[in-house]
Amino acid sequence: MSDNPVLERAQRFLSALRHCQVLGLSVHQAKPEGLTLRLPYSTQIIGNPESGVIHGGAITTLMDTTCGISTVCVLPEFEICPTLDLRIDYMRPAAPHKDVYGFAECYRVTENVIFTRGYAYQDNPDEPIAHVVGAFMRMGKPTDLKAGAKGGA
């Protein structure tokens, strides 16, 4: 068993998402205060071939995933929590040839919804590329969902 169960759960969650594997996302840091994922720079995610700037869709995926996986930082057990709402405010383009990091924290947890916020950055978290807020629906543990689908408790 890992000394950091939050990190272990975040890595397990991320490894189950095929599109994140293709992008090369990895867990940079995971603790109860929040989660940081890393998006490595790649020529395959360039949005503007002339400048080499990363496509906004890759940043959106990074931030949606970071917010979604940050739920493992606050929940006692893994739950299915799909995105209800996501807002990203882009401040500036990411500099070419540099990795991008996404940080997210859960700032409110209710019975039905988890509220998250965070930012994307490269070298300095105080100079964000984008800010994000997201809401995620709590659907319960995967075993709860299977029991409900079969008419069980």
Number of structural domains the chain divides into: 1
Measure the CA angle with vertex 10, ends 57 and 37; round to 5°. 40
* Residue 121 belongs to domain with CATH number: 3.10.129.10
The helix/strand/coil state of 96 is: coil
Whether residue 56 contacts residue 111, with contact meaning beta carbons closer than 8 Å, is answered with: no
Whether residue 39 contacts residue 101, with contact meaning beta carbons closer than 8 Å, is answered with: yes
Q: For residue 88, give its domain range.
A: 5-149
Whether residue 40 contacts residue 20, with contact meaning beta carbons closer than 8 Å, is answered with: no
- Give the residue from 107, 103, 106, 134 showing the smallest Cα distance to 120: 103
For every one of its 153 residues, what pLDDT tens digit does the chain have, with 9 covering 90 and above? 568 888 888 898 888 888 888 899 999 999 889 999 999 999 999 998 999 899 999 999 999 999 999 998 899 888 889 999 999 999 999 999 999 999 999 999 999 999 999 999 999 999 999 999 999 999 988 775 555 554 444
